[in-house]
């Protein structure tokens, strides 16, 4: 029988609806199974934990092959908002919470939320720009130290 997973560290690097939710769902599932979980937000994934942006995450419709829409249709004005609203309603029916509530819920289960220092510096942010559930702004080396002995998942 294979060894069980005891810890996961999930990297979220995209700031779109479809870039953020997979990591949140995986972290939530890990915590539900008693697996330690850390989330590391880097580059545009910082939008998920940014105070003024995390309530306005949109689905990426241009060039998203999973939507099965022509690129031209995905680029029409308002298409991203329409598709985000559609998907959000379907997720609500499945009891999948919106990003802000999901992050709070995951944090409340003991998962660690961390921002990438290089990305925070790149975008001119500081801890006051981030939601209160973010435990710290850490370097990649510090992330590796947190992830030691566990699995790293890049979404």
Dist CA 49 CA 132 (whole Å) = 9
The predicted-structure confidence for 31-86, as pLDDT tens digits, reads as follows: 999 999 999 999 999 999 999 999 999 998 887 788 887 777 778 888 889 988 99
Does residue 78 fall inside a structural domain? Answer: no
Does residue 108 fall inside a structural domain? Answer: yes
CATH number at residue 41: 3.40.1260.10
What is the edge-to-edge ordering of all strands in the sheet holding 112-116?
134-138, 112-116, 36-41, 7-12, 151-154
Does residue 84 fall inside a structural domain? Answer: no
Does residue 22 fall inside a structural domain? Answer: yes
Q: What is the pTM of this model?
A: 0.92
Does residue 68 fall inside a structural domain? Answer: no
Number of domains into which the chain is organized: 1
Residues 6+ apart with CB under 8 A from 27: 8, 10, 37, 39, 106, 111
Looking at every residue in the chain, the average pLDDT score rounds to 94
- Look up residue 18 and give its two tokens: 């479809």
Does residue 46 fall inside a structural domain? Answer: yes
Does residue 109 fall inside a structural domain? Answer: yes
Q: Return the number of other C-beta atoms located less than 10 Å from residue 36's C-beta.
A: 17
Range of the domain at 110: 7-59+98-154
């Amino acid at each position: 029988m294979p060894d069980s997973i005891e810890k996961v560290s999930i990297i979220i690097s995209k700031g779109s609806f479809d870039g953020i939710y997979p990591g949140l769902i995986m972290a939530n599932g890990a915590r539900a199974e008693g697996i330690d979980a850390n989330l590391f937000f880097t580059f545009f994934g910082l939008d998920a934990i940014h105070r003024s942006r995390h309530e306005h995450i949109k689905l990426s419709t241009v060039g998203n092959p999973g939507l099965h829409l022509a690129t031209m249709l995905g680029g029409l004005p308002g298409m991203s908002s329409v598709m985000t609203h559609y998907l959000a309603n379907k997720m609500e029916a499945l009891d999948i919470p919106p990003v802000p509530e999901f992050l709070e819920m995951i944090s409340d289960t003991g998962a660690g939320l961390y921002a990438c220092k290089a990305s925070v510096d790149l975008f001119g942010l500081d801890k006051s720009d981030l939601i209160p559930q973010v435990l710290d702004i850490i370097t990649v080396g510090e992330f590796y130290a947190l992830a030691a002995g566990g699995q790293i998942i890049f979404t």
